[in-house]
Amino acid sequence: VTLSAHATKQGPPQPAALDAPRAPHRHVRVIHIWDTVVSIEVRRPPAGVDITAALDDIAELLAHVDRTFSTFRPDSLVSALRRGERSEEEILWNPDGTAERDLADVLRLCRTARILSAGSFDPWAVPGGFDPAGLVKGWAAGRAIRLLGEHGIAHAMVNAGGDIATAGGTAPGIPWRIGIRDPLDPASILTVVELLDGAVATSGTYERGHHLHPNGPTHATQLLAATIVGTDPALTDALATAVALADRATAADITATTGYSILGVQTTHDPTHPRHPSANRTIDVWTTGPFPGRPLGQPCQDRTVAGGVPGPVHLAAQYRRLVA
Amino acid sequence: VKRPILFTAGTLAGLATVLVANASTRSPLLPGTANTTTTTAGTSPPSSSATPGVASRTPGTPTGRQTPGTPTGRHASTTSAARSAAPGSSTRTASTTTTATPTAPPGPTATAASNQAVDGQPVTIPYGVVQVRLIITGHTISDVQPLQLPNADGHSQNIAAMAVPLLRQQVLSAQSAQINGVSGATYTSDGYARSVQSALDAIGGHP
C-alpha cells in the first residue's frame, strides 16, 4: 500500500460506531489510514482489560508507522533515508529512539525478503529510493497483534488493507477463518484459510485499477493475485508482493525456502487473438505447498460439485471451467 | 454488461455498511430498544408500512419508510422485481421468521430468535436514492431488503433490480461462509466500502 499523508483521516462514522460491541466478548474497530482501512477485531479480552485504551494504542501505533515510513511525508525517517540525510548503516547499527529501531527492524526484514524472493521483492530498486511499502502493512499488523498481547489480549485479528495477522484464534483452539477474495469478483470468496496464529497476505493487480496489460499483451500468462499463508506478517506481506510481481516458479522457490504456502490465480491468454486478449483467456488457480484452504459451501455454491466438497485442487479445476 | 452491475451492487454494499454503522450509533442492536422495529421478517414486504407486523417505532425517528412523497407503488414494483431475481432469498428469510415481543427488556445479549428491522437513512447515489432495511436475527444480518430504489427510468430500475440480490448475496455470503476476515489485494478506502470485510466489520464480525 502507498503510505500517504492522510495519517489520521477518519472515515465517516465507523470507528466510534463500531466500538459498540454486538456481543460482550467481541470488539471491532475500523481505522482509516494510509489511504486504506485497518480492521481490528478482539475476542474474549480478560476481565479488567481496558479494551478502548488498547484499541487507542493500536490507532497511535498505526499513526506512528505512517509518520515513520511514509514516503509522502517529507519529515518521515524513510524520507530522510531516501534523501541521503541518514545512512542505512547508522540506523541499522546505532538506532536512536523508537522510530529508528522500528526502521532498523524493517530494513532487516526487507533484506531478508529480498533474498527469499531472489530479488523479486526489492524496496531499493524503486524510483526515488528505498520504499518499504510492500512490507510495512504486514509488519504493522504484526506489531498491532503484539501490542494487543501486551495488553493481555490473546485472541485478535488485524486486517491491514487485506493483509492479515492473527493471534490465538477466536477462542482457545478455534481458528480464525479468513476468506480469500476472488480477484475477479469482490463479492465472492475463493477459499477459506483457518489460522490460529499466523499471517495471510494477498497481492494482486486487480484492486487498484490496473488493467491486465497496460502496455499490450506482452506476457501470455499473468498473475491476477497471489496469497501467502505464513508465520511472520511482514515477510508474508513482502513475499506476496514478490510473487504477484513474478510467477509460479518464484512461488515454488519461496515455498521451498520458507515453508509458506502460496495460492495463485493467473490468467493465460492468446496474444495473437485478433480481438481483445481477454476475449480468449483462461483462468488457473494453483497452490504451492500444502495450502490450508478449506472447501467452500455457500458463497461459491455454483462452483462446487454436487455431492462433494472440493479441496483447492478441485476448486482450481472448477474455477477454470466456470470462469473460462 | 457485468461490470456496471457489480459496481452498483458494491455501492449498495458500502451503503449498507454505513447504514448499519449509523444504526448502531443510534442504538445498540438489542430487542425492544428504541429505533429498531421488531417485526416478522419476510412476511411483511418493505412497502407495507401499515401492516400489523411492524410495531413500536419511536416517533420522530427519521426513517425513509415514512419519507413523505415517496411513491409507495414504485417500491412495490421494484421490490418484487428484485425478489424474483433472487429466488433463494425468500426461503432464507422465511426460515428465520420469529416474532419477538416489542416490549422485551433490553439486555446484554439479544436472543437469537428475535428479528429486528433496522432502517437505514436514504442515501443519494448517481442512480437515485437508495434506502435499505436490514433484518437482524440475534447478532447477524439475516436479510437485506430494499425500501427505496432508483426509479428514475427503466434502465436504472433494471440495474437496481439486479443489484439488490447481489448486495444481499454479498452481505449474507460473508456470514454463511463463517469467515472472520477477508484477504485481498490492498484496497483503497473506497474499495473497502465495497468489500465483504466492511460488511463483516459492520455486523461486528462472524461469531
* B203 contacts chain A (CB < 8 A): yes
Q: Quick: pLDDT tens for A59-113.
A: 999 999 999 999 999 999 999 999 999 999 999 999 999 999 999 999 999 999 9
Residue in A169, A192, A159, A174 with CA at minimum distance from that of residue A297: A192
Chain B environment of A36 (Cβ under 8 Å): 186-189, 192
Give the minimum alpha-carbon distance from A186 to chain B in angstroms, rounded to a whole number.
6
Q: Is the pLDDT of residue A215 over 80?
A: no
Contact across the interface for A181 and B185, Cβ inside 8 Å: yes
Which of B:111-170 have CB within 8 Å of A?
139, 166, 169-170
Please give the pLDDT value at position A297: 31
Window A:6-65, CB contacts with B under 8 Å: 11-14, 16-18, 20-24, 26, 28, 30, 32, 35-37, 39, 41
Residues facing residue B36 across a β-bridge: none
**Record: contact B197-A159, CB cut-off 8 A:** yes
Looking at residue A322, what is its pLDDT?
A: 40
pLDDT band at A26 (very low <50, low <70, confident <90, very high): confident
Is A187 in contact with B196 (Cβ distance < 8 A)? yes
Report the DSSP pairing between strands A261-269 and A281-288: antiparallel
pLDDT tens for each residue of A281-315: 667 788 887 776 554 332 232 333 222 333 343 44
A210 has pLDDT over 70: no
Alpha carbon separation from B2 to A148, A284, B5, B41, B163 (Å, rounded): 42, 21, 5, 30, 11
B5 touches chain A (CB under 8 A): no
Does the CB of A245 have a partner CB in chain B at under 8 Å?
no
Check: CB of residue B35 under 8 Å from CB of residue B19. no
Instruction: Answer yes or no: do B186 and A208 touch at CB < 8 A.
Output: yes
> Which chain B residues contact residue A12 at CB under 8 A?
18, 21
Question: What is chain A's mean pLDDT, rounded?
Answer: 79
Most confident of A135-144, A180-189, B8-17: A135-144
Q: Name which residue leads in pLDDT, A152 or B110.
A: A152
Contact call for residues A135 and A123 (beta carbons, < 8 A): yes
Question: Residue A284 has what pLDDT?
Answer: 76
Contact between residue A248 and residue A266 where contact means Cβ atoms under 8 Å apart: yes
Backbone dihedral region for residue B204 (phi beyond 0: left; psi -120 to 50: alpha; all else: beta): left
Per-residue confidence band for A38, with pLDDT thresholds at 50, 70 and 90? very high
- What is residue A203's predicted lDDT score, i.e. its pLDDT? 93
Distance in Å, alpha carbon of A264 to nearest chain B alpha carbon = 12
- Mutant choice from A6, A43, A159 vs B, greatest count of B C-beta within 10 A: A159
- Residue from A8, A14, A245, A262 whose CB has the most chain B CBs within 10 Å, to mutate: A14
Q: Which residue has the higher pLDDT, B142 or A82?
A: A82
Which residue among B173, B202, B206 sits closest to A187, beta carbon to beta carbon? B173
Q: Is pLDDT at A147 greater than 50 in this prediction?
A: yes
pTM score of the predicted model = 0.63
Cβ count within 10 A of residue B197:
29
Cell of A160: 491491514
> Is A319 a residue whose pLDDT tops 50?
no
Q: Which of B128 and A102 is assigned the larger pLDDT? A: A102
For A:153-172, CB contacts with B below 8 A are 157, 159, 161-164, 170
Tell me which chain A residues have a C-beta less than 8 angstroms from the C-beta of B17.
14
Identity of the highest mean pLDDT range in A137-151, A275-289, B47-61 = A137-151
